[in-house]
Amino acid sequence: MDMRVSRDPVDRRPLLVNPPTDYNGVTEAVAAPIEWKTPMGWWIFFLVSAVFAAMYAGSTAYLIWEGTGIWGLNVPVAWGWAIVNFVFWVGIGHAGTLISAVLFLFRQKWRTSINRFSEAMTIFAVVCALSFPTIHVGRIWLLYWVFPVPNQMGAWPQFRSPLLWDVFAVSIYGTVSVLFWYTGLVPDLATMRDRVKSKVAKFAYGIFALGWTGSTRHWRHYETAYMLLAGLATPLVLSVHSVVSFDFAVSQLPGWHTTIFPPYFVAGAIFSGFGMVLTLMLVSRVIFKLEHIVTMHHLDNMAKVVLLTGMIVGYAYGMEFFIAWYGGNEYEMFAFINRAFGPYWWAYWSMVSCNVLIPQVLWFKTIRHNVAALFVLSIFVNIGMWFERYVIVITLSRDFLPSSWDMFYPTVWDWAALLGSFGLFFTLFSLFVRFLPMVAMAEVKSVMPESDPHHEPDETEAAKQPATATAGGAS
Amino acid sequence: MTRETISAAGPHNPGRRNFLSAVGATVASLQTAACIRKPYEKILPYAERPEDLVPGEARHYATVWNVGGAVQGLLVRSTDGRPTKVDGNPNHPMTGGSTIWAQASVLSLYDPERSKEPVREGEGVSPDEAVGFLKKLPDEIGDGSGLAVVVPELPSPTADRLWEDIRAKYPKAELYRFDGAGTDHARAGAAMVGIEGAAWTTDGTPTVIAAFDADPIGTEGDTTAFTKAFAAGRDPNRKPAEANRLYVVEPHVSITGSNADHRMAVKGSEVGDFLAALAHHLKKGGLNVPTLDAPKDKLDSKFVKALAKDLLSRKRGSTIVMVGERQPAHVHALGFVLNEALGNFGKTLRFTKQGPTEVGALSDLVRRMNDGSVKQLVVMGSNPVYEAPADLNFGELFQKVPLTIHLGLYRDETGRLATWHIPQSHYLESWGDLRAREGTTAIQQPLVAPLYPSLSPIEFMARLTGAESKGYDLVRATHQGAISGGFDKRWQRWLHDGVVDVGQAPSFVPSVKTDGLAAAYKFRAERAQGLELAFVRDNAVLDGRFGNSPWLQELPDPITKIAWDNAAVVSPNTAEKIGVPNNLEQSSVRDTVMVDVSVGGETVRLPVWVQPGTAEDVVVLSLGYGRKHGGKFAKSGFDVNSLRTAESPYIRSGAKVTPTRKGYAVACMQPEASMHDRPIVRDATRGDFTDEPNFVEKFEVMDEDHVASLLWDEPEYTAEHQWALTIDLNSCVGCGSCTVACQAENNIPWVGKEDALKGREMHWIRIDRYFEPKHSDQVEVRYQPMACVQCETAPCENVCPVGATVHGPEGLNNMAYNRCIGTRYCSNNCPYKVRRFNFFHYTVRNDADYGMGIAMQRNPDVTVRYRGVMEKCTYCVQRINKARIHAKVNGDGIIPDGTVKTACQEACPADCITFGNIRDPDSKVSHTREDPRNYAVLSELNLRPRTTYLAKLTNPNPDLAEG
């Protein structure tokens, strides 16, 4: 492969689609996985995921039948893996909004190759995330009481509870994510409608394409709507995980009751979200032959985001310790010393290693450009961020009165729920890659040089270098 | 049925009617299968309501019971005819509060595993058949030359009378006493110095209490009366000379030892040496005590010297030397001698003349069984097959006796081997009478008719003589002679008050003979090397008789905090010697290893448990566990009776402990024992308290100005009643009565060992136990009962998303169970972790375990909680509301101080709990909150808890200050 970078003929930036292709080339490349005959590999992946998802469903059914006691919960550790998983999945879901909304507003053109993918991931992660607080309550059949449903008893939710804020924050986040994702999908769904042969598929894509014709008027409305949604979604990037962090920060537990939690959670969420996008992207771009659309340049950018947010998270870990000491609160001090050197030291040091130490290798460009290394690293990030939430939740095990201290031991049902939620996630994901364009074709096209034709020939110095601009076989 | 119906109609020509009936039958049967039908029950109204009986309104009846001879007057609550709660009868002299056993006894009434029918040679027979057998029994017994009757400790005037009847009818019959909680050693020790036919008791009033392997607060003697006086004797307002000081010498950490001002951990076999050394020093101090042999190191003991000095410095007759049942007779004998010399007879140690004389011990019976002269053996209310030391070989001999009859609540190990097993009535079903050691008699009146065909002990004794008298008549006959005329009226009064005001057992002051003592007090010159086993009566199941109570099984041991099991308890150093890890130093404290404890060819495998404060080279084994036929709950734990010998049933030397590779999980309910230097239990010595009465403030983490400000609006508590509770840590002895009482009052389920292991116990009030191990064998124990403290600014309330826990106007933090969806956030945010969650449907699980029994016990005034719901202490709000209704109907609506007592308060033998209205400045609780020792746990969180604590004061001997 020619490692030289193709550059934009106008502004000399490296091309985002590299090796370059034309509009049709993008469409063909993205639509191909949908139009292939279903490969055996997909079936295997889908079925394995579905089995795990079914395990989740089964374990949840047993949970509802028997009670939350099937998990390893107790007093003091009244929240266990369900909440760990919830925060973990919500965190994963953050990359989607960030890439879609924030990077969009900041005109980061490189986002176009990965935004569809990460938005889809966001939605599936939010689905997984929402499932956990739903099933972890003791009496799931009364869960609707958390919604402000008018009733003859005049019983209202209790608006001071962070859990209630959570209900609103996460459901709004889920709704906006779906809207955003779907709006972006409309032009591509129309493309698929026009391409597919099967009547059923044509009909289905047609329904969801909402009569998109690609007229200028459509494009104008579409882009306005997209911009507005991006504006709406942007505060959510900060709010959702801030609110999730309130679940902990608003309580008075040592190790939970800290003001650093909202920014720290947001940074951690972006960190974990990008970690998960990397994990999925690195594999998908090879399988679905999208290396020219999701290029090394994209991977490099994502790796830099991971490095940055990983260091923010590392800073937060350090600052928590510092404040625990500086604040002079002996319970707080104990909680942190206990995290690092108490019975759950292994979880703490797993977290620090995976989230802070290991990502430091990303300073090296060779690592950032090594797909295998990035994949391994992204797995570490995923594990590390799960442990981060575990470390936070397990702080419950030792609080104010030593008499109530106790340990938490997960049961087989805890494992079933954790692994099962991954099954659910990958089931949805495999359906996504099979039936929907996993790259935003229309958006990618909009950042190709062809979308920005210029009358003036390129007069820059670089253009005069022979055989550089078109290297890579764009002819 | 469907198929039959159709085929009856014939397949070829069904016909319209047949077809329709077949369809009808099918639909009907499908419906039956599809619906869960409510059980069919009859509701019978009172056609003629008994006078004063208001349905739903509880009534209280006085009765009495005894455990191992310790008689306790009780007041039992009857709800719509069902006994639902047992408490101490304040009229009874030996009762203040109640024991865990009295509290749990109401559950045992409904135990579905109680014996329900007579059994002859393993087969259940009708009650009539048993009656017929008992009728013919006198002919078989003849002159009684082959008759042996084993009775438990049963200090009953009626039983004494009936025994005389039996003896009159069968002149050659022999009576033996066997009771796993009995006082054989003490009695033998008394006999050694010439005290016979007497009962004696010590209350806790002495100013110096020297307990030599005695556990008067926990498992021995009249514990409630002792505890009450003991706690009162520690009142900080007492003058230094009147405040008591407790010295304990013992091998294991007993409840008494955990409350000691000075405690010395020594081998059980050396306790007597220390007593001899004490005698030596008392003699030097001028007391008339025989000279006894005592080893030099014991004579030089600083502890003993200081104790002797302390005893001598007090007023004569104001101290006590107590010797525990675990010690052999000669140590008891010396104990009597020392008490006599200290002038304690008739003062702190009071004797009454009572009890049948000529009662043999179990070993005497075994001797007779061996030579085959026992032809008819009657065992009443005890379980020697399980409890007797293994070397007596009782079970085997028992089976060789031609006719054995067992009367028992359960068809237990003895009942299984007996020719005849006769069900015994529960004490709540029986008429009877019991005389306390102090001399007062009380009438035992039943709360219900026997649930199963059964006989009470006295009815059974009457049957032995051929009489078929009812218990009621038997008791009346005993007391009828005591007064002349107007018996019925007096009788009613006795029943009402719970005490008989005549016929006190006469008290007397015996003299002691010391001549035989020196000879009896022989020291084993060479002591067996190796480990010494200390067998102790269990703090929960005692000798095993209470083993089938899930409440008691789940009540954690006050010291080790182990529930549902016993273990081989050793000190940290001994654990190291044995080569087992110190489980207390591991993060998973509950994971321990099994060890083989072997001695004299017998081996028992059980888990090892490290307990600081245990004497070196001692292995403490709790009795009463691992029962084969005690019921499903009694099975838990490990039977160690096989390691005991009749000669020395509680102490055995020369044992070996071998670790195995097998692990075991012990349900320890408080894995962390250290306070981590947090100001949770605050204490000071009496001296420091005098110098600095406000010492509790020194412990505050944050200064008051910082704490005082609130982020929110000040909560408004304007109601007439503002409830508050104080717990005096200076009185609390850690017995656990409050926990069981709360369980009985508030329908708290048990969770079983599996869930207890996971830390899901449901107790609304628990007793936190902290200790700071100083050395391996030294430990200072602190107890702290902990329930919801009803914060005024409760952190649980603002985190609940549905508002299921909210504040009432009277300062109670209420739980609306019906509103709770079970997010458990409240529990996370509760710094005291006193909220309890129904992780499973424990109530239904209990129903399955206990059948209708547990439903019968439940308090109808308290909601039974569903799975997925949080619960916690309510300050017994049902009692408050009852009192409120009463006050509104009968007065101005103000509940007078002292009318509402919480269940824990009522049960507390130490009177450490005070409850009341702080809007009333004269209420008792307002005063206790004014006490300088009053403080709030975690006050720095500004939660303004309504439950506050009064700091503990210790009373160390200045001479031992360095210890």
- Angle at which helices A296-326 and A261-287 cross, to 10°: 160
d(CA A186, CA A433): 16
A66 contact B CB<8A: yes
Q: What does the DSSP 8-state code read for residue B943?
A: -
Question: Tens digits of per-residue pLDDT, B339-397?
Answer: 999 999 988 999 998 776 678 888 889 999 998 889 999 999 999 999 998 888 899 99
Per CB-CB distance under 8 Å, the chain A contacts of B799 are: 160-163, 250-251
| Tokens coding B904 | 């824990």
B675, A402: Cβ pair inside 8 Å? yes
Q: What does the DSSP 8-state code read for residue A100?
A: I
Question: Tens digits of per-residue pLDDT, B826-878?
Answer: 999 999 999 999 999 999 999 998 888 888 899 999 999 999 999 999 999 99
A138, B867: Cβ pair inside 8 Å? yes
Question: Tens digits of per-residue pLDDT, A30-89?
Answer: 888 888 888 899 999 999 999 999 999 999 999 999 999 999 999 999 999 999 999 999
Which residue intervals of B562-621 are DSSP H helices? 572-578
| Tokens coding B528 | 């067996």
Write out the DSSP string of B159-171: HHHHHHHHHHHST
Residue B680 — pLDDT band, cuts 50, 70, 90? very high
Of residues B130 and B26, more confidence is placed in: B130
A164, B588: Cβ pair inside 8 Å? no
Average pLDDT, chain B: 89
d(CA A83, CA A63): 15
| Tokens coding A347 | 């979880």
Distance from CA of B805 to the nearest CA of A (A): 10
A157, B803: Cβ pair inside 8 Å? yes
Q: What does the DSSP 8-state code read for residue B96?
A: S
| Tokens coding B914 | 């005070």
Residue whose C-alpha is closest to residue A143's, from B826, B815, B823: B823
Contacts of B423 (CB under 8 A, 6+ apart): B114, B115, B116, B117, B118, B407, B408, B409, B411, B452, B453, B454, B455
A75, B827: Cβ pair inside 8 Å? yes
Question: Tens digits of per-residue pLDDT, B203-227?
Answer: 778 899 999 999 999 999 889 999 9
Q: How many residues does chain B have?
A: 963
pLDDT(A237) > 50: yes
Chain A / chain B CB contacts < 8 angstroms: 172
Per CB-CB distance under 8 Å, the chain B contacts of A406 are: 671, 759
CB A224 within 8 Å of CB A160:
no
pLDDT at B11: 47
d(CA B427, CA B446): 7
Q: What does the DSSP 8-state code read for residue B55?
A: T
Residue A162 — pLDDT band, cuts 50, 70, 90? very high
A155, B760: Cβ pair inside 8 Å? no
Residue B94 — pLDDT band, cuts 50, 70, 90? confident
Q: Which of A401, A405, A412, A413 to mutate to test the interface with B (most CBs of B within 10 A)?
A: A401
pLDDT at B922: 94
pLDDT at B608: 95
pTM comes to: 0.90
Per CB-CB distance under 8 Å, the chain B contacts of A162 are: 799
Q: Which of A70, A71, A75, A393 to mutate to test the interface with B (most CBs of B within 10 A)?
A: A75
pLDDT at B963: 45
pLDDT(B7) > 50: no
Candidates B758, B798, B938; nearest CB to A400: B938
A438 contact B CB<8A: no
Per CB-CB distance under 8 Å, the chain B contacts of A402 are: 672-676, 678, 680, 770
Please compute the mean of the pLDDT values over residues B717-725 and round it to a whole number.
92
Buried-state track B4-21, b at ≥16 Cβ within 10 A, e below 16: ebbeebeeeeeeeeeeeb
Write out the DSSP string of B831-881: TT---EE-SS-HHHHHHHHHTHHHHHHS-TTSPPPPTT-EE---SSHHHHH
Could you tell me the sign of the dihedral formed by the alpha carbons of A41, A47, A53, A59, in that order?
A: negative
Residue whose C-alpha is closest to residue A258's, from A199, A322, A310: A322
What part of B 820-849 touches A (C-beta under 8 Å)? Answer: 820-825, 827-829, 831-833, 835-841
B755 contact A CB<8A: yes
CB B648 within 8 Å of CB B654:
no
Residue A311 — pLDDT band, cuts 50, 70, 90? very high
Residue whose C-alpha is closest to residue B901's, from B921, B924, B919, B885: B924
A401, B829: Cβ pair inside 8 Å? no
Q: State the Cα angle at A54 between A51 and A58, rounded to 5°.
A: 135
pLDDT at A470: 42
Average pLDDT, chain A: 87
pLDDT at B27: 66
Contacts of B723 (CB under 8 A, 6+ apart): B790, B810, B811, B812, B875, B880, B915, B916, B917, B918, B946
| Tokens coding B845 | 């699980």
Candidates B678, B760, B803; nearest CB to A158: B803
Residue whose C-alpha is closest to residue B742's, from B711, B765, B719: B765
A14 contact B CB<8A: no
Per CB-CB distance under 8 Å, the chain A contacts of B827 are: 75-76, 78
B800, A76: Cβ pair inside 8 Å? no
Q: What does the DSSP 8-state code read for residue B661?
A: E
Candidates B670, B819, B836; nearest CB to A75: B836
pLDDT at A234: 86
Q: Is B961 exposed, middle or buried (0-12, 13-18, 19+ CB in 10 A)?
A: exposed
pLDDT at B35: 56
Question: Tens digits of per-residue pLDDT, B144-156?
Answer: 888 999 999 999 9
pLDDT(B12) > 50: yes
Residue listed under structure tokens 């009808």? B24
CB A226 within 8 Å of CB A442:
no
B835, A162: Cβ pair inside 8 Å? no
A197 contact B CB<8A: no
Per CB-CB distance under 8 Å, the chain B contacts of A145 are: 802, 819, 821
Q: How far is CA A218 from CA A230, A233, B94, B107, in A?
A: 18, 22, 93, 77
What part of A 119-148 touches B (C-beta under 8 Å)? Answer: 136-140, 142-143, 145-146
B819 contact A CB<8A: yes
B801, A146: Cβ pair inside 8 Å? yes
Per CB-CB distance under 8 Å, the chain B contacts of A82 are: none
Residue type, B84: T
Please compute the mean of the pLDDT values over residues B278-297 and round it to a whole number.
87
Of residues A296 and B912, more confidence is placed in: B912
Residue listed under structure tokens 């208001």? B54
Per CB-CB distance under 8 Å, the chain A contacts of B703 are: none
Under DSSP, is residue B16 helix (H, G, I), strand (E, B) or coil? helix
Candidates B671, B675, B868; nearest CB to A406: B671
Contacts of B566 (CB under 8 A, 6+ apart): B538, B606, B621, B622, B623, B624, B625, B626, B637, B638, B640
Candidates B674, B760, B867; nearest CB to A402: B674
Please compute the mean of the pLDDT values over residues B674-678 and round it to a whole number.
89
Residue of A nearest to B757 (CA): A74
Question: Tens digits of per-residue pLDDT, A345-378?
Answer: 999 999 999 999 999 999 999 999 999 999 999 9
d(CA A407, CA A74): 9
d(CA B525, CA B18): 98
pLDDT(B524) > 60: no
What part of A 75-104 touches B (C-beta under 8 Å)? Answer: 75-79
A167 contact B CB<8A: yes
Residue B566 — pLDDT band, cuts 50, 70, 90? very high
What part of B 926-955 touches A (C-beta under 8 Å)? Answer: 937-938, 941
Per CB-CB distance under 8 Å, the chain A contacts of B770 are: 402-403
Residue type, B899: T
Per CB-CB distance under 8 Å, the chain B contacts of A250 are: 799
Highest mean pLDDT among A5-9, A17-21, A250-254: A250-254
Share of chain B above pLDDT 70, in %: 95
Question: Tens digits of per-residue pLDDT, A432-474?
Answer: 999 999 888 888 888 887 777 776 555 555 555 544 444 333 3
Per CB-CB distance under 8 Å, the chain A contacts of B786 are: 401, 403
Please compute the mean of the pLDDT values over residues B688-699 and round it to a whole number.
90
d(CA B427, CA B381): 11
Compute φ and ψ for B568, nearest 5 degrees: -85, 105
B759, A75: Cβ pair inside 8 Å? yes
Compute φ and ψ for B698, nearest 5 degrees: -60, -25
A156 contact B CB<8A: yes
Per CB-CB distance under 8 Å, the chain B contacts of A143 are: 821
pLDDT at B258: 94
Under DSSP, is residue B87 helix (H, G, I), strand (E, B) or coil? strand
CB B204 within 8 Å of CB B259:
no
Q: What does the DSSP 8-state code read for residue A443?
A: H
A253, B758: Cβ pair inside 8 Å? no
Distance from CA of A408 to the nearest CA of B (A): 8
B759, A142: Cβ pair inside 8 Å? no
- Angle at which helices B471-480 and B457-464 cross, to 10°: 80
